[in-house]
Structure 1
Amino acid sequence: MKSLIYILALLIGSLTFAQNENLFEQGNTLYNNKKYAEAIDKYQAILDTGMHSSELYFNLGNAHYKLNHIAPSIYYYEKALLLNPKDKDIQNNMAYAKNMTIDAIDEVPEVGISKIVNSITNIMTYNGWAVMSVLLFVLFVLLFLTYYFAEYTVRKRMAFTASFFAIGSGLITLMLAFRSYSLDKKTNPAIVFAQESQVKSEPNLSSQELFILHEGTKVNILDTVNNWKRIKLADGKTGWISSEDIKKI
């Protein structure tokens, strides 16, 4: 019975994959024929099945950009970058889309040691740093055993020095893994979808208006109270915005 269920699951998965491939090709054809709204429907149908990829999000961003949909184009480019952060085409198209936004927000530059540490941390994900730290600790154990059982003084010194380097590197990569995890938890980006949205000093309509944001602006969600989100901008400004006005990436 379990084998039959497994086979049926494989068949359904294969059919879904084939159907999505067909929808993707149809969407590309419609896009090339400048039928951007119809192309979006095809791409969205793929997302509705639970499948996603950087290529799919990239094409959705392109289609929305052609229709001058500022917020959706930036939103899907951001999602594409999450899956493929080094893709130059996504980065370039994102820059074009951001040129359509109204809000000019200057990012606060990182300086000093913090900039160096964050640059190193962002080389890999926290999973990557964690795997590397485990490998280095395993290497340390092997080198220490080599040192312990070595008969010759030269081999002992080499094994000891290498094991010391391995344990030191392992501790550093472990700290980078924890830092990367911490930074990832603090990052909760969203895009403003409302054409114009008031940012308040408190999570209620009667509170003071701090500033106004427009569609396509990227924010970072810090907290949630009822249907309000506390956000932070790249320039350090914070405030409360209606949950309906933003869409989490």
Structure 2
Amino acid sequence: MRLMMKRNFLILVISGIFLLSVFALAITLLTPEVTADTQAVSAANQLYQVGNYEDAQRIYEQLISQGVEDSTVYYNLGNTYFRQGDLGRAVLNFQRASQLNPRDPDIRANLELARTMADVPFTSTAPGPLSTLAEMTSRWLTLNETAILALAIWFLACFLFLSLRLLDGGKVRRILRYGAIVALLILALIGLSLGSRIFTESTQHNGVVVAPVVAVSSEPGEQFATDFSLSSGTEVSLVETRGNWARLAVPGDAIEGWIPLNSVETVAGGLLTRDTLL
């Protein structure tokens, strides 16, 4: 009996080490490897401090073009655009910074300030339970953090169920059983949140108008009638592209129309192209 308990305990220890190792590997794979050059960031920060916003902007954009995904770089880039009066690209880069670090109070504050200064209506994305759940979690967790949390709870649930099979004892088994049930419920909630985030980000393409003012046409082409216009900083949902035109919708408003591709950029990154929404 004692020998069996020792064997079961050893199995649990080995299993725990294995699960922790897999979890550590998953965290490594989900963490971006490209880090910002500290010297370049320092140089850009110094340029910003002395009011040379244009040169600071170029350094930050160069870092991003090299594959750097850093909320601080996007935040600082947004500040350079804000100082230069380009509110559209300020909102855009504060949005990108927020996606990488949604809990940062400075990013939130500057995003709201840029929206206020742009004086354009901001409405949450399309309604629906999946979109609502995705938006709620995106305010506190990045997509990678949500995936890591889901993995952690899954590993914990596996360990608890394995412990139930290997350990004896009425009180211990009851505690493990309740713990496993709670872990499964939390896993279901986080899994639903993760799935809604992936579905929303793959089907809804958010963008920001970066042209000072852009006329919205009823059809793709300059020869068609202009229905209304949008100002720099307006946040939109991108529906489709056709040639050098993009069809957009303004969240919260039952209005759609077409604008030139080069007048809007996607929050996911970069100018909108013909292949962006495919």
Judge same fold: TM > 0.5, yes or no.
yes
| 1:41 Cα deviation from its structure 2 partner | 3.3
What are the Cα deviations for residues 101-144 of structure 1, in whole angstroms up to 9, with x where unaligned? Answer: 25x32526999977974565434344444444444444444434
With over 3 angstroms needed to count, the CA separation of the structure-2 counterparts of 1:172 and 1:211, relative to structure 1, is: same
Alignment equivalent of 2:202, drawn from 176, 180, 185:
185
Instruction: Name the aligned partner's letter for residue 238 of structure 1.
Output: E
Q: Is the counterpart of residue 204 in structure 1 residue 204 in structure 2?
A: no
Rounded Cα–Cα distance in structure 2 between residues aligned with 1:164 and 1:69: 52
Equivalent residue, structure 2, for 1:107: 123
1:126–1:176 contact (8 Å) kept in structure 2 = no
Structure 1: runs of 5+ lacking an equivalent: 1-15
Rounded Cα–Cα distance in structure 2 between residues aligned with 1:46 and 1:140: 41
Rounded Cα–Cα distance in structure 2 between residues aligned with 1:182 and 1:66: 36
Q: How many residues align?
A: 232
| 1:229 Cα deviation from its structure 2 partner | 1.4
1:27–1:42 contact (8 Å) kept in structure 2 = yes
Equivalent residue, structure 1, for 2:263: 245
Equivalent residue, structure 1, for 2:25: none
* Structural mapping, 1:209-248, within 5 Å: 209-236=226-253, 237-248=255-266
| 1:217 Cα deviation from its structure 2 partner | 1.5
Rounded Cα–Cα distance in structure 2 between residues aligned with 1:52 and 1:121: 20
| 1:212 Cα deviation from its structure 2 partner | 0.7
With over 3 angstroms needed to count, the CA separation of the structure-2 counterparts of 1:173 and 1:27, relative to structure 1, is: closer
1:80 alignment partner, SS class: helix
Structure 2: runs of 5+ lacking an equivalent: 1-33, 268-278
Equivalent residue, structure 2, for 1:59: 76
Alignment equivalent of 2:40, drawn from 23, 42, 53:
23
Rounded Cα–Cα distance in structure 2 between residues aligned with 1:42 and 1:108: 32
Instruction: Name the aligned partner's letter for residue 81 of structure 2.
Output: H
| 1:169 Cα deviation from its structure 2 partner | 3.1
With over 3 angstroms needed to count, the CA separation of the structure-2 counterparts of 1:147 and 1:115, relative to structure 1, is: same
Rounded Cα–Cα distance in structure 2 between residues aligned with 1:58 and 1:246: 19
2:238 alignment partner, SS class: strand
What are the Cα deviations for residues 144-198 of structure 1, in whole angstroms up to 9, with x where unaligned? Answer: 4444455444444444343333333333332222112112223422221222212
1:121–1:179 contact (8 Å) kept in structure 2 = no
Alignment equivalent of 2:102, drawn from 71, 75, 85:
85
1:204 alignment partner, SS class: coil
| 1:47 Cα deviation from its structure 2 partner | 3.6
Of all paired residues, the percent bearing the same amino acid is 23
1:23–1:42 contact (8 Å) kept in structure 2 = yes
Equivalent residue, structure 1, for 2:211: 194
Equivalent residue, structure 1, for 2:181: 164
Rounded Cα–Cα distance in structure 1 between residues aligned with 2:128 and 2:262: 38
With over 3 angstroms needed to count, the CA separation of the structure-2 counterparts of 1:233 and 1:17, relative to structure 1, is: closer
**Ranges of 4+ aligned residues in structure 1 off by more than 6 Å:** 109-116
2:102 alignment partner, SS class: coil
Equivalent residue, structure 1, for 2:20: none
